[in-house]
Amino acid sequence: MTFVQIVEGKTDRWDEMDRLMDAWAEQTRGKRTATHSMVGRDRTDTGHWVEIVEFPSYEEAVKNSRLPETNRVFEQLVALCTEPPTFTDLDVVRDEQLNKETARRFFQEVAGSGGAPSAIGELCTTDCRSHDPAEGREVVGLEDFERAVEAYREALGLVFTVEGQIAEGDEVATSWRARGVHRGEFMEMAPTGKHVEFSGTTVQRFRDGKICESRWHWDALGLLRQIGAVGV
């Protein structure tokens, strides 16, 4: 079970503490068992800091705390604080990665033939941008994006399968596989009725919980070969 430790403290020597955290990260490189660490400062009390550290399990957190470097740095950290830090230990019982879910919904509810392009307004910002080399131009804004999505839906009747996702910061990378039938004009190619299948990865950037930018990387050449637009 994923384990999270929340450490809170107060200091009037933030710059020194920041350098100490850098030193600890360097000293424990390749040794520490934490998978994610985040430090924040209170907007209303800049001396109040909070660190949230994630571990694969409680047992891995214990291993991390037993590193000699961790103990040494903790003693220096306490010396920089105006009062002793406090610790909260949490077993994670729910972990909802909302941006990943929104990205998944985009492929299921917007891009896929079973969805509706109009749902794009719920999932994307009004000034969203889409970069797709196959388009030959940058798609800008909800209406333009909706038209581009609808063109693919009408031409290929695609059904998307999400095969994997990676989230980091405000970006989500989704690897997908699409299947469909060439039932409408596509890139000036008349419908052939051929079944198509191709894969790709889309990296989407989020702002305020909505997709504001999409960068598409997919096997356009493979698709064109399947419908006979280019030679094998």
Q: Which pTM value belongs to this model?
A: 0.73
Q: Which residues of 45-78 are buried (b: 16+ CB within 10 A; e: fewer)?
A: eeeebbbbbbbeeeebbeebeebebbeebeeebe
Q: Give the pairing type, strands 159-168 and 137-140.
A: unpaired
Fold of 3-91: Alpha-Beta Plaits (3.30.70)
pLDDT at 168: 87
Tens place of pLDDT for every residue, the chain, 232 residues?
A: 789 999 999 999 999 999 998 988 888 888 889 998 999 999 999 999 999 999 999 999 999 999 998 888 889 999 999 999 999 999 998 887 899 999 999 999 899 877 776 788 999 999 999 999 888 889 999 999 999 988 888 899 999 999 999 998 899 999 999 999 999 998 888 999 999 999 999 999 999 999 999 999 999 999 999 998 876 5
pLDDT at 232: 57
CATH number of 98-226: 3.10.450.50
pLDDT at 231: 65
From-to residues of CATH 3.10.450.50 in the chain: 98-226
Residues 6+ apart with CB under 8 A from 212: 124, 125, 127, 128, 129, 205, 206
From-to residues of CATH 3.30.70.100 in the chain: 3-91
